[in-house]
Amino acid sequence: MGIDYLSMGDPRSPSLLMLHGIGGSAECFQPQMRAFSNDYHVIAWNMPGYGESPPLQPLTFEDLSKSVSALLEGLVISSRVHLLGHSLGGMVAQQFIADYPGKVASLTLAATSAAFGSRDGDFQKRFISERLGPLDQGLSMKQLASSIIDSLIGAGPDPEMLAIARSSMASVPEASYRANMELLVTFDLRRELGKIRVPTLLVAGEKDTNAPPAVMEKMSSYIPNAQFQCIKDAGHLINLEQPSAFNKVLRKFLQSIENTIQSDDENKDIQP
């Protein structure tokens, strides 16, 4: 069995591949799939261990990166893709572009970071204990979903999209949630930021305490020619909480890339 995914749009159009976070799923990109499918072949994966995608054992960022590559090969996508990663998905996206730079046309990193926690490891230990403690006490993902989502959101989220977020969180297998929490705290690709050579957009939520705007803005300063945008009132689930604002920022970014490509092609045509 291969990677499970959702897709919309013409496969002949430029591809936009979206990678969700620990509590997410392909369904969490519904507002982006609807908004961009007229112009792009939009693909949202269910990462290994989610939906119908079989889990990876052992689970590493390198193996998740290979899974992204395998998905693209399975879809017979040979051209470079526009890659969007949210939260843990943003970390997978960073690993993917480090491993396969020639397969990426642009990179959008939403509510994510280049490293997790402090250097001494105390933060990571506390984080794991706090996140997995309720499960250790016997509560289920379904029982915890609403409280987890409520801790991630900002002010005035879209209620319909919030329901999708809660449903996705409730459906995450406990084993996958545990495995990805353990994986999350190992991430550190700060040394790779300066090597990114594609157009890059970083999007933060104003109220996000997991990937704070100040941290993401500093991260953007290490990536050559990166853009940084902050979405007002949004928390960690930016694309679902404020879908219109998020889509507007993403569309402007992608359109600027398309305009550059078109201009370059026109200039080639008029070369003597």
Q: How confident is the model at residue 269 (pLDDT cuts 50, 70, 90)?
A: very low
How much is the pLDDT for 264?
Answer: 54
Q: How confident is the model at residue 125 (pLDDT cuts 50, 70, 90)?
A: confident
Sign of CA dihedral 195, 86, 103, 257: negative
CA–CA dist 27, 16 (Å, integer): 15
CA–CA dist 201, 130 (Å, integer): 31
What percentage of the chain carries pLDDT values higher than 90?
87
Q: How confident is the model at residue 258 (pLDDT cuts 50, 70, 90)?
A: confident
3-state secondary structure of 108: strand
Q: How confident is the model at residue 272 (pLDDT cuts 50, 70, 90)?
A: low
How much is the pLDDT for 126?
Answer: 87
Residue position matching structure tokens 């801790």:
151
Instruction: Express each pLDDT in 154-166 by its tens digit.
Output: 999 999 999 999 9
On the question of pLDDT at 86 being above 80, the answer is: yes
Higher pLDDT, 119 or 242: 242
Residue-averaged pLDDT of the chain: 93
Q: Where are the alpha helices (DSSP H) in the chain?
A: 30-36, 61-74, 88-99, 122-136, 141-150, 159-171, 174-184, 213-220, 238-241, 243-269
Instruction: Express each pLDDT in 98-118 by its tens digit.
Output: 999 999 999 999 999 999 866
The region of weakest confidence among 39-48, 115-124, 221-230, 258-267 is 258-267
Instruction: Express each pLDDT in 127-136 by its tens digit.
Output: 898 899 999 9
- Rounded to the nearest angstrom, the gap between the alpha carbon of residue 192 and the centroid of all alpha carbons in its chain is 17
Per-residue CA distances from 67 to 46, 49, 63, 105, 131 (Å): 11, 12, 6, 18, 26
Nearest to residue 253, comparing CAs of 228, 233, 220, 270? 228
How much is the pLDDT for 94?
Answer: 98
Which residues, in sequence order, are bridge partners of residue 203?
Answer: 110, 229
Pairing type for strands 15-19 and 41-46 reads parallel
Instruction: Express each pLDDT in 188-221 by its tens digit.
Output: 999 999 999 999 999 999 999 999 999 999 999 9
